[in-house]
Every structure is written in C-alpha cells, then in structure tokens.
Amino acid sequence: MAEGAKPWLLRAPGSWRIFRAIPWARLWVLPLAVFFLFSVIGFFIDLMAMGRMPYAIVLAIAFCCGLNAALWIVVVARLSRLFLFALIVLQFALGPLLGALARWMGIAFALQAPSSTAGVRFSAIAILIVAVVSYGLFIRFMRVEGLESMRVKNELDLAHGIQKTLVPPIALRTDRFEVYGISEPSDKVGGDLVDAVLLPNGDIIAYLADIAGHGLSAGILMGQLKTAARTALLDAGEGPASASLPALLEKLNAVLPQVKEPQMYATLTAFRLNADGRAWYAMAASPPVLHWSMQQKDRRLVQENQFPLGLLPVSGFTGEAMELTAGDLVVVATDGVLEVCNRAEEEFGIERVEQGIEAQARAPLAQVADRILRDARAFGPQLDDQTLLVIRRVG
C-alpha cells in the first residue's frame, strides 16, 4: 500500500480517485456547481408544460433534481459503495416521488398556476441564472485545482531535478572489480539512491539505498543520506576493512533520525570491494542480494536481517565476507523492480532478475542492467523508482 493511502481510495474506480483525493475544503465547489447545473431540469419541465406549473412546485422540482445530481458527486467521491447502490435505486423512484411532491404541494398550499406567458418567462430567466451560477462555480473549481496541479508539478520538477543531480549513473572499475549503478525515476518522486566511492587506497565502497515513501521529503532525505554516507566514508580506508560497512550503518542510523520525519526510514545494501579481491557486504532491511556464480552457472540469494536505518535507536550492525571468483555477478534491485506487477497481479521477483542475468552474464554491466530494466518494464507498469547496482569480479 502506498505511503499514507486510504483503503477506500485504493478501492475506488480509477476515474474517481482524483475526486477522492481532493480535500473537502476544495471539493465542495464541484457538487454545488453540479447542483445548479442539473436544477435546470426542473425549469425545463415547466417549459415543456408551457409555464403552467406553480412557481413553488417548479422550484421544488429544480431543487430535487439538483440535489440528486450533487449527491452522485458526494457519494462517489466520499462514501462507500453501499450508498452508491442506494442512490441507483433512488433513480427509479425519482420520477414518481417528484410527481407525488408536486401533487401534495398543490393541495397542501392551494397553489395557483401562473399564466403561460409569466411561467415561461420565469423558467427561462431561472435557467439563465442557474446556468451562469453553475458556470462560475465550475470555473472556480478548475482554477483552484489548476493552481494546485501547478504547485504539485513544480514540486515534482524540483524533486526530479534533485534526483537527477544526486543519482546519476555510476561506473567504476579497478583491477579486481567493476561497478555499475543506475536509477530510473518513476512519475512519482521517490528516494532511491545508488552510489560508489573509490577510496584513496584503491578499494571501492558501493551502496544502494531506498527511502520509504515518495515526494519531495523522500527526495530531500535521499540527498541527506548521500551526504552523510560520503562524509562517513572519508576515513573508510583506515582501520580494518571488515569493520567499515558496520561502521557506516551505525553512523547513518545515528544521523538520520535528526534530519527526517518520524515515520521515514531507509533500507540499504553496501559492499566493500578491496583492491586485493576480497569483498564484504552489509544489509539493513533491504531486499535479497543475487549472487550469480559464473563457474557453477547458478545463483545464491544473500540476506541479512537487520533493522532499517533511522527508525530505531539500535546498534550492533554487522557485515559479512562474500566469496567472489572471476566472472561472478552481484545484483541488487530495489522494490521498484522486484515488485512490478502484471495484469495477473504476479510480481516480477528475483527469479526474473536472474533470467536477465543468465542471458547477459558476460555482457558489459550497463547492458546487464538495461536488460533487467527492459524486462521489468515489459512485465508491468513502473510505479516506483527502479534502481540497480551491479558488481562483477573481473580478476
């Protein structure tokens, strides 16, 4: 379920989700505009009767027709399907109910019909007035929603600009390792991050992170995480190599709570790739790592259950050694790739990532990543940022 989404919003038909997402403080103008628009029906009925209906009855019928139309907006935009069923049933009884109301009002208040000329003039003027009022209300609704759409678009453009600046494609190569990372943003702004740092001693630290949530706040936190990670890695070349990744996770988990909203957190997978061919990994609540063995032509899933970063004040993060031989591939994908769904609600999953690796095991890393992303897009629509980190042991 999307961050902050409401169950009734996810169950709504696609064309009505827009109205369900609009706050009532802005939405109320729409049913009012519809009310005045469909109140024309009452005056039209009087015109068809040559203006001989009593004014009070004409106004009552116009009110009921407008109210019925406005109820459709309110029910579909805010209430459950049970109310929608009741509203559909009401349509079959609306004609007889309006007829009964007109007869009752005529008898109860002894209403007299106006002359045909006066009645036609009354209904014609009323139609002009309610049409103008309805038009004005529709214009107001569209203007307010247009301004809101521009605000959201500007926010998305700003966030996408931040994302492109902070998450460019990465490519590093040493005598022992190749590293490639790419992030394809979705229409929404997310917080995926892939980065690699070449240390002064020739070692590489590469990592992939995913900020929970979407929007500008996730993009900003992603930028803060990258800054914190790069700062923490300034002295990563010193001390035991096996301790650098746990230290990185400890520092990020200590820093993030001070610069984020309480419910936000980050998942992260990091690798230490030494110039002598040794490798380590550390994971914080992230999807499994796929290790493809070129010699054995099979794969192994690597997982490590640790808390996400920035959510709880925990410590004791650990890292593990990873045995890699020449030609081996290591692939990490974010949820935006793994959780792509087709029409049958099947997820793309790690197995299809493996199929893409098998077909391109000896290809350049950029080509391996491109194959996986193309397969994911062909499998189902992209609803989240799609980010990959691909590592190859080359010697």
**Amino acid 283: pLDDT:** 96
Verdict on whether the full-model pTM lies above 0.75: no
* Domain range for 351: 167-393
Cβ(183)–Cβ(156) under 8 Å? no
Same domain (yes/no): 110, 27: yes
Query: Does residue 57 lie within any of the structural domains?
Result: yes
d(CA 224, CA 78): 38
Last residue of a domain, one of 141, 159, 177: 159
- 161: confidence class by pLDDT, cuts 50, 70, 90: confident
d(CA 370, CA 114): 77
Last residue of a domain, one of 159, 182, 206: 159
Same domain (yes/no): 147, 177: no
Q: Which residues face 341 on adjacent strands?
A: 347
Same domain (yes/no): 213, 147: no
d(CA 57, CA 39): 13
Same domain (yes/no): 115, 94: yes
Q: State the sign of the Cα–Cα–Cα–Cα dihedral 308, 306, 329, 353.
A: negative
d(CA 166, CA 228): 13
- 185: confidence class by pLDDT, cuts 50, 70, 90: confident
Rg (CA), the chain: 31
pLDDT digits (tens, 9 = 90+) for 60-77: 999 999 999 999 999 888
What distances in angstroms separate CA 46 from CA 91, 113, 117, 119, 166, one per listed residue?
A: 20, 11, 12, 8, 66
Query: Does residue 45 lie within any of the structural domains?
Result: yes
Same domain (yes/no): 133, 255: no
pLDDT digits (tens, 9 = 90+) for 197-229: 999 999 999 999 998 877 677 888 888 999 999
Query: Does residue 368 lie within any of the structural domains?
Result: yes
Same domain (yes/no): 337, 379: yes
Tally of helices (H runs) and strands (E runs) in the chain: 13, 11
Query: Does residue 2 lie within any of the structural domains?
Result: no
pLDDT digits (tens, 9 = 90+) for 5-46: 444 343 444 456 677 778 888 999 999 999 999 999 999 999
**Amino acid 190: pLDDT:** 67
Helix axes 29-38, 55-78, angle to 10 degrees: 140
Amino acid at the residue 229: A
- 288: confidence class by pLDDT, cuts 50, 70, 90: very high
60-64, 185-189, 192-196, 198-202: range with lowest mean pLDDT: 185-189
Same domain (yes/no): 353, 369: yes
Query: Does residue 311 lie within any of the structural domains?
Result: yes
d(CA 7, CA 328): 44
Query: Does residue 1 lie within any of the structural domains?
Result: no
Residue 293 host element (H or E): strand 289-293
Same domain (yes/no): 177, 135: no
Per-residue buried b or exposed e for 284-316, using 16+ beta carbons within 10 Å of the residue's own CB: bbbbbbbbbbbeeeebeebebebbbbbbeeeee
- 79: confidence class by pLDDT, cuts 50, 70, 90: confident
pLDDT digits (tens, 9 = 90+) for 264-282: 899 999 999 999 999 999 9
- Residue 184: is its pLDDT beyond 70? yes
Mean pLDDT for the chain? Answer: 89
**Amino acid 187: pLDDT:** 67
Cβ(278)–Cβ(177) under 8 Å? no
Cβ(8)–Cβ(80) under 8 Å? yes
Q: DSSP string covering 38-62, please?
A: HTHHHHHHHHHTTT-S-HHHHHHHH
Q: What is the CATH number of the domain that holds 174?
A: 3.60.40.10
**Amino acid 291: pLDDT:** 95
Same domain (yes/no): 378, 261: yes
Q: What share of the chain has pLDDT > 90, as a percent? A: 66
Q: What share of the chain has pLDDT > 70, as a percent? A: 94
**Amino acid 11: pLDDT:** 44
Same domain (yes/no): 143, 37: yes
**Amino acid 235: pLDDT:** 87
**Amino acid 1: pLDDT:** 36
Query: Does residue 67 lie within any of the structural domains?
Result: yes
Query: Does residue 63 lie within any of the structural domains?
Result: yes
Cβ(264)–Cβ(212) under 8 Å? yes
Same domain (yes/no): 332, 234: yes
Looking at the structure of the chain, the number of domains it has is 2
Last residue of a domain, one of 124, 142, 159: 159
Same domain (yes/no): 152, 204: no
